[in-house]
Amino acid sequence: MGQRPLRSTAGGNLPSELGRFIGRGGELAELGRLLESSRLVTVTGVGGVGKSRLALAAARAASEGSQERYCDGAWLAELATVRDPALLELALAEALELTDHTTRPPRTVLAEHLAGRRLLLVLDGFEQLVDECADLVRELLRRCPGLHVLAVGRRPLALDGELAFPLAPPAPEEALALLAARASAADPGFAVTAENRGTLVELCDRLDGIPLALELAAGRLRTLSPAQVLARLEDRFALLTGGARGGLARHRALRTAIGWSHELCTPAERLLWARLSVFAGQFDLDAVEYVCAGPDLPVEDVLDLVGELLAQSLLVREETPAGVRFRMLETVRVYGAGWLESLGDAGRLRRRHRDWYVGLATWCELDWFSPRQQEVAALVEAELPNIRLALECCLDEPDEGHLGQYLAGTLWFYWAGCGRLAEGRHWLDRTLEPADHAVEYETSRLKALWVLGYVAALQGDAAASMSALYECRDGAAQSGNTVAAAYAAHRMGCLALVSDDMARARELLGAALEQYRAAGELNSNVLMCQVELGMALAFLGDLPGALGLCGEVREICEERGERWTKAYALYVLAYAALDAGRTQEARRLLSECVAINHVFHDLVGLVLALELLALVTVAEGDAAEAAVLQGAAEPMWGGVGLQLFGSGYFNAPRLMCREQAGELLGAERYAAYEAEGRELSREALVGRALRDPEERGAGGVPRQAGRPRGSRVSTGAAAEQPQP
């Protein structure tokens, strides 16, 4: 239940089953039949009854058994941590690993992405946004005929054509098997015997067979006998049922199980449980120690208390790319949140939570300019639900909007470097909404402004970018903030670069670079400014100047362990190598560039590198493979933005590749290879791009002998036309 998805393959992103799936054979078969009858099926039931686990098992079975119906796979979107309706579409796009850098509404992007696909989308945990989720699902189903949705929640979406599947607790024998399996996992010496079987059956009956309740009870069987567990449960049953008179017995039974677990916790364990409820999704031990410790909960005791909550199945331990992390099931978290509110300590804990993630973002920004760049990206991705909560807290607290501006601005490297432009734009716009701002926090506002200008420029929204950057420039001049002034000039130069105004880009980027050096500023932004200046020089025909700037950046990046900016420097160096006819060197540089951009999900850098690599492939004599690469890269432009797509300079390699490969192959064969490329997944495309040319030839890909005419890259103002 509630497992985090793994990285996707071509067949989707469903997580592997972590534990043995016990029973539910009849329900699984019935749910499979419903999925064949309707495009929208919703599994409903009380919290803890096993909805998520059953839905995932059904989705796996459906995607494996109906490969024609779900040829584009089965995908899981976990929505329990999404509280802001504006982030619903972004959460779905994230689950589908859909990157879009444009200003198009996320709903439009989703609909266009899904329109021509046949897939099964599992939506889990939508209760807090049921109306918004229903509206989105209605529109996607209407616009995307190949889409099927399996929703999981405590209530249906109430849409036309929806089939609801109310999930009851498992049958008594299945409940006993589940209890025994979980108890054996906690204590290998546990076994169902003739002596304890009757007691265990009664225990299952008392807990109404609800899987979450059984798992909590199983955690207690590590230290108590079945008879002791049953006796303690019976003693508290009347006290702990809770809920309104006449409520469903299953709701009372679940609350009984959780409340009983709460009663059996020590006071310190209860306190930690309540305080952990301020987290969303996963969290690590360092965060727990900072947020939850205090005079009444010494920091040195936190590790042991976390271990006790794990042993009692109140916490889940998970291995992630960001290291060992913990998670609390949503039903358990909500119970703890109620206790935290009753203690009157919720506001203070939320502020401590916010402070931790503001500090974490600060350290991550510093660590971005280091060999730990990839680990930083993984950490921020893992912490995104908690960062969202921290941003909401900044916006909700009176007079603390400046912290939201600081946090949204500090995360520039994640928004721009890790394919999160749309979400970054959302938070930057929200934190900058108030027109009035305190002078003492002007630095935070100026940073948010230049980051907004940067993000908007990369989205192709020139008007919003220029507005933010002018405001930043003027504010920096009034306050004497030379660093903010440098960033404003830099991002104005970046906007000129992607708008094909190379002369102005050269002027602004050169001035910004001088200002950075005068201020002693050195980080990934400064190096990117130098790379962008190199790009402008290369496009203007000054390849020696571009080589000097980007060669220096490459050396600094290798010395500091910085990879993201290095990828852009490699692109410029490859551009120059190809122009000089050094195709082998250009391929080597671009292969590294593609690999880095893929790791960081940087769509802008990836598509630029792939298109230049396609042109290199033509120069090597393999027009067929070049057409495949070009065909695969072309759809990616839709997610980059109209400014770059319409740029004569950035667009030149694509036009040259199309003309030269088309001449060698003929229009019909070129179109066939290009269509083949459009069918490649992102993973498959990158793997293909990184293959050695000899390896590629051995694999049976048809090659076209002979060097095409005009292998030089066009560098003049007339970059729209290939150079003869």
The runs of H, that is alpha helices, within 241-320 are 249-264, 267-276, 285-292, 299-311
Provide the 3-class DSSP secondary structure of residue 295: coil
- Angle, helices 130-143 vs 88-95, to 10°: value is 60
pLDDT of residue 697: 53
* Contact (CB, 8 A) for 10 and 73: yes
Say how many Å lie between the first and final Cα of the chain, rounded: 61
Q: Which of 565, 650, 655, 562 is nearest to 607 (CA)?
A: 650
Q: Are the CB atoms for 56 and 262 separated by under 8 Å?
A: no
The Cα 525–Cα 514 span in angstroms is: 13
Q: Is the sign of the CA dihedral 293, 296, 299, 305 positive or negative?
A: negative
CA 457 to chain centre: 22
Residue 696, pLDDT score = 61
Residues 6+ apart with CB under 8 A from 158: 134
Specify the pLDDT at position 77.
Answer: 95
pLDDT of residue 531: 97
Q: CA 639, CA 509: separation in Å to the nearest integer?
A: 26
Instruction: With residue 191 as reference, give the H or E element that holds it.
Output: none
**Distance, CA of 661 to CA of 628 (rounded, Å):** 10
Q: State the Cα–Cα distance between residues 638 and 636, nearest whole angstrom.
A: 5
| pLDDT of res. 248 | 41
CA 525 from chain centre, in angstroms, equals 23
Q: How many CA atoms lie within 13 A of 122 on its CB side?
A: 30
* Distance between CA atoms of residues 254 and 7, nearest Å: 33
d(CA 258, CA 264) in angstroms, rounded, equals: 10
Torsion of CA 385, 423, 139, 120, to 10 degrees: -50
Phi and psi angles of residue 649, each rounded to the nearest 5 degrees, phi first? -70, -50
Predicted confidence (pLDDT) per residue in 315-362, tens digit? 888 888 888 999 987 778 888 999 999 999 999 999 999 999 999 999
Q: Contact, 419 vs 99, CB < 8 A?
A: yes
Specify which residues 165 forms β-bridges with: 43
pTM > 0.95: yes or no: no
Secondary structure element (H or E) that encloses residue 41, with its range: strand 40-44
DSSP bridge partners of 163: 41
Q: List all residues 6 or more positions away from 424 whose beta carbon is below 8 Å from its beta carbon.
A: 408, 411, 412, 414, 415, 416, 451, 455
Closest CA to 92 of 72, 112, 106: 106
DSSP line for 664-680: HH-HHHHHHHHHHHHT-
Q: Which residues of the chain have pLDDT under 70?
A: 1-10, 18-19, 234-257, 435-439, 641-646, 695-724
Structure tokens at 351: 């502020």
How many helical (H) and strand (E) elements, i.e. helices and strands, does the chain have?
Answer: 35, 8
SS3 label, residue 150: strand
- Residues 355-392 as b/e (b if ≥16 CB within 10 A, e otherwise) read ebbbebbeebbeebbeeebeebbbbbbbbbbbbbbbbb
CA distance 367 to 564: 13
Q: Given phi > 0 = left and psi -120 to 50 = alpha, else beta, which region is 313?
A: left
Q: Which residues on neighbouring strands pair with residue 122, listed in sequence order?
A: 76, 150
Amino acid letter for position 154:
R
704 and 621 in contact (C-beta within 8 Å)? yes
- CA–CA gap between residue 511 and residue 520 (Å, rounded): 14
Residue 662 makes CB contacts below 8 A (sequence gap 6+) with 627, 670
pLDDT of amino acid 438: 62
Q: Are 30 and 165 in contact (CB under 8 A)?
A: yes
Q: Could you tell me which residues come within 8 angstroms of residue 724 by beta carbon, excluding any fewer than 6 positions away? A: 709, 710
